[in-house]
Amino acid sequence: MFVLIAGGGRTGTRLASLLVNQNYKVRLIEHRRELLTHLHQELPTEVIYEGNAVDPGVLEAAGAREAHVIAAVTSEDATNLAMCFVVKTMFDVPRTIARVNNPVNAWLFNDTFKVDVALNSADVLAHLIQEEMSLGDMMTIFKIRRGHYSVVEEKVPPGAKAIGIPLKDMALAEHCVIAAIIRDGVMTLPRGDSILQENDEIIAVASPQGAQKLAEMLAHPGYPVRNGKQKE
C-alpha cells in the first residue's frame, strides 16, 4: 500500500514513521527548509519529497496517481482541504484523510472538498489508514460501542462473491449483520433469503473481524488496482 502524506511537522513525521515501521510505502511532501533538515534526521531520504503539496505538478511527481490514500496533515486547514480536493478530482485517489487544526473549520471537511475522513491525531490516522485500506472499497461511516463495532457501507461490484447468494448462506462472521440494502435508490430491510445484486449498496454493523469477512465477500476481483498494480 502506498500512502502519500502532506506536511512534515510533528503529526506528519510521526505518521510517516509509524507507517514506515509497518512496511508501508510512504512518501512525505514538505517545502519548508527548516523542517526538511529535521525530516532527513527522522526518516529515510527516499520517503521525503520537497515541494508544495497543493501543486498538481508536485503531486504528480511524488506519485499521487499510484497512491492508495492521501493524508493531508499540514498545520493549515486551507492547505489540507485544497490537497484533498486536488488529489480526488485530478488523480482519483481512493481515500483522503485530513487533519483538522481549528475545530471551527470542521464543518468544511466533507464531501464538497473531497474529504473522506477528518482527524487530528497521528496515531489515530495510522490506525485508520490500516483499517480502511484492509477493507478495500468498504467505507466506515461511524463507530459504536467505543470502537468495538463499526457501521460500514459498500457498493456491490461486478464479480463479487456475494452476488446471487442468500444472506443466510453467506457464512459471514458471527459479529456482522447486514442492516439494509439500497437498490435503485430504494432502501429495504433484508431477510435471510434476500439476495445481493450487482450495484446494490449495503449498510452493515460489524466487528473488525466481521467487517474483514464482509469485505472479502464484496471485493471486486483484483481490488484495488492503481495504474495496473495490485495493492501492496
DSSP state of 220: P
Question: Residue 229: what pLDDT?
Answer: 38
The full set of domain ranges for the chain reads 2-134, 139-222
Mean of the per-residue pLDDT values of the chain: 82
Decide: helix, strand or coil at residue 200. coil
Higher pLDDT, 99 or 121: 99
Whether residue 121 is predicted with pLDDT greater than 60 in this model: the reply is no
The 10s digit of each residue's pLDDT in 21-32 is: 888 899 999 999
Question: Residue 227: what pLDDT?
Answer: 43
The C-alpha cell at 145 is: 460501542
CA–CA separation, 81 vs 183, rounded Å? Answer: 32
The 10s digit of each residue's pLDDT in 132-183 is: 554 455 555 555 655 577 777 888 888 888 899 898 888 776 788 888 898 8
CA 101, 106, 13, 127 dihedral sign is positive
Domains 2-134 and 139-222 share a fold: no
Decide: helix, strand or coil at residue 28. strand
Pick one of 3.40.50.720, 3.30.470.20, 3.90.280.10, 3.40.630.10 as the CATH number of 2-134: 3.40.50.720
User: Tell me, which fold does domain 139-222 have in CATH?
Assistant: Alpha-Beta Plaits (3.30.70)
CA–CA separation, 64 vs 53, rounded Å? Answer: 10
CA 83, 59, 17, 151 dihedral sign is positive
Cis peptide bond prior to 44, omega within 30° of 0? no
